[in-house]
């Protein structure tokens, strides 16, 4: 069963709260975080999440919920590394994008509660103002759509001379998509395309960096 956006926000908030506090939030705290004024609406969504197996609840206490399978902020999960992503001009997409070249351990608090995730190594400097640089590892939640302004792994399908995958901020204006860099250097340009020319592979949710 597909989660609604509000339920997704609730799950993400609960996990974020647990990572900071080691105990769950109250219904009122969840409502404030998810912009829900009615505690009955919060309860309704928690009941749906419980029915789908995402949470368990003890209704006799104010903080009586837990995330099913939550490992805690000090644990790590294996995430497949699929290769490189260009922070600059697009590069060809792997012939078999589901074939991981390696697995990397990622702290659980850097991963979303729901959805499939994968990792890519960044090549290029076009996203430095978004705190993503050459050699970084981006963690991506696989999803076919992102909100305007979010950092996305996007594949340009057409024209052929620009086809390939790139890491950019995604902006949608009507049927027009702008894939915008985050670098003031004028050598890094936006790509303006019709929405039919772009395929979104996922949203960047966190970044890993090596310090030498």
Q: What is the pLDDT of residues 163-207, one digit of tens each?
A: 899 999 999 999 999 999 999 999 999 999 999 999 999 999 999
Mean of the per-residue pLDDT values of the chain? 86
Cα–Cα nearest to 90, from 179, 3, 206, 210:
179
Give the pLDDT band of residue 95 (cuts 50, 70, 90): low
Quick check: is 126 catalytic?
yes
Which candidate in 62, 99, 168, 190 is catalytic?
A: 168
Q: Which CATH number does the domain 76-208 belong to among 1.20.1630.10, 3.40.50.12280, 3.30.70.60, 2.10.109.10?
A: 2.10.109.10
Pinpoint the residues of the chain covered by CATH 2.10.109.10. Answer: 76-208
| Cα–Cα nearest to 31, from 42, 17, 40 | 42
Catalytic residue among 62, 126, 145, 196: 126
Domain 5-67 part of CATH 3.30.70.20: no
Beta-carbon contacts of 193 under 8 Å, excluding residues fewer than 6 positions away, are 156, 158, 176, 177, 179
User: pTM (2 decimals)?
Assistant: 0.64
CATH 1.10.10.10 location in the chain: 5-67
């Amino acid at each position: 069963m597909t989660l609604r956006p509000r339920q997704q926000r609730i799950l993400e908030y609960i996990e974020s709260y647990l990572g900071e506090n080691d105990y769950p939030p109250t219904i009122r705290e969840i409502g404030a975080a998810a912009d829900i004024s009615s505690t009955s609406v919060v309860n309704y969504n928690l009941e749906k999440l419980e029915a789908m197996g995402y949470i368990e609840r003890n209704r006799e206490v104010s903080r009586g919920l837990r995330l099913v399978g939550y490992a805690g902020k000090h644990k790590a999960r294996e995430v497949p590394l699929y290769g490189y992503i260009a922070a600059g001009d697009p590069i060809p997409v792997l012939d078999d994008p589901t074939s991981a070249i390696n697995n990397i351990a990622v702290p659980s608090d850097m991963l979303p509660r729901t959805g499939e995730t994968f990792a890519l190594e960044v090549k290029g400097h076009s996203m430095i103002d978004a705190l993503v640089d050459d050699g970084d590892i981006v963690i991506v939640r696989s999803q076919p759509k992102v909100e305007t302004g979010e950092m996305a792994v996007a594949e340009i399908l057409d024209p052929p001379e620009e086809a390939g995958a790139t890491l950019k901020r995604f902006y949608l204006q009507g049927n027009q998509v702008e894939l915008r860099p985050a670098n003031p250097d004028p050598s890094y340009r936006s790509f303006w395309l019709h929405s039919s020319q772009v395929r979104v592979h996922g949203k960047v949710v966190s970044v890993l960096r090596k310090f030498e």
